[in-house]
A = this chain, B = another copy of it.
Amino acid sequence: MPINAQILDNPKSDRVRRIADLTRAKGRERSGRFLIEGPQTVREAVTWRPDIVQDLYVEVSQALEHPRIISSTLEKIVEQSQDATIYVHRCTGEVIRQISKDAQGILAVGNARAMHTGPEDLELGEQPQIAAFWQVRDPGNAGTVIRAADAAGCDAVIFVDDCVDALNPKVVRSTVGSLFHIPVLRMGTGEFFGWTAAHKLDVWAADVYGTEQRKPESLPQVLANADSVASGKAVLFGNEARGLEPGILERCDRIVSIPIYGKAESLNLGTSAAVMLLSLAMAGREMI
């Protein structure tokens, strides 16, 4: 890890301005880079995808005659970033905070293009489990569902149609590193159904209402049939406010709903995804 000898101490420098600009979509587009903030997320990036990390910015204590990284946690992350293409820059706290309020002493700049996964890059196993999200708009939700898909051992996440940018800093933070564990793809709606058909994957809609013709099956009944649960599939979740459109539901092979036993009206998207994906994973892999 090449370490920059100079300590960055000017919060108004061009470099600091350019990095802070990655919090905006335009800044990311312009530069082809994105921001990774906070110890846990940076550590996961450095551990699992050192190939996409370009620069690491870490806070040193203010006593600049003997600059020291401010904590052993951060020191370990820097030591871990052994990849010769990761450049380490030591900064004052002021510089770090100028770039991001969510850095907790460390942040990294990643290569957005190297993060890109296309359908042709996906290596799918025997009975692939895919988590797909149609028109997910809220960055916090997007991060949470990527994390849920990771925990459930899914092979990939697909953001279908008009979704939030997966490299938005709030998405990256909310995945707590899962963005670097599991491939995240983007597809149009037609492309998604074409791709699942070509790979002989059933599409299961996670939906409470279903259509006029097709009421949803209840998740616990679905879980009771371990064979069908383990089969290769993509589970498709709808927009956080509007769910899935009837036109989309009609194209799905099954419609499955999570039962609600109390008086709560609904579960939010992140909770639904975690309950559905982990229930299916548990039933498919460990039913005894």
Contacts and interface: CB of A to CB of B under 8 A. Distances in A.
Contact of A148 (B149, B154, B271): B271
Interface stretch (A14-22, A66-74, A279-287): A279-287
Interface in A217-244: 218-221, 223-224
A275 B274 CA distance: 7
Of the candidates A148, A182, A261, the one having the most CB atoms from chain B within 10 angstroms of its own CB is A261
A288 B149 CA distance: 27
A198 interface: no
A258 interface: yes
A54 B181 CA distance: 50
B154 A262 contact: yes
A263 B154 contact: no
Interface string A149-182: 1111110000000000000000000001110011
27 contacts: A147-B264, A148-B267, A149-B262, A150-B263, A151-B261, A151-B262, A151-B264, A151-B267, A152-B261, A152-B262, A153-B260, A176-B264, A176-B265, A178-B264, A220-B282, A220-B285, A221-B288, A224-B288, A258-B278, A259-B282, A261-B281, A261-B285, A270-B271, A274-B275, A275-B278, A275-B279, A279-B282
